[in-house]
Amino acid sequence: MSKIKDILRLRFDAGLSLRDISKCLSVGPATVSEILSRFAASELTWPLPDECSDTELEAAVYKGRNVSRAKR
């Protein structure tokens, strides 16, 4: 399961705060906030459809942004 799904699950199912989510997943609170904002702007809703893969979720959340996994 991707970190994006974990963030969404902890926010919507568990009702955790941004700070608590960031502590649970070892990511910054700004990252959690950005992912939740991008998810709200996407066409997706929670709970996610069963056919939604991690790749599709990432593409919807980061739509319009070139995601590069390689560091310079």
pLDDT per position as a tens digit, 8-54 = 999 999 999 999 999 999 999 999 999 999 999 998 999 998 899 99
Whole-number pLDDT of residue 68: 60
pTM of structure: 0.83
How high is the pLDDT of residue 63? Answer: 83
pLDDT(67) > 60: no
CA quadruple 66, 1, 27, 30: dihedral positive or negative? positive
Alpha carbon distance 64, 72 (integer Å): 21
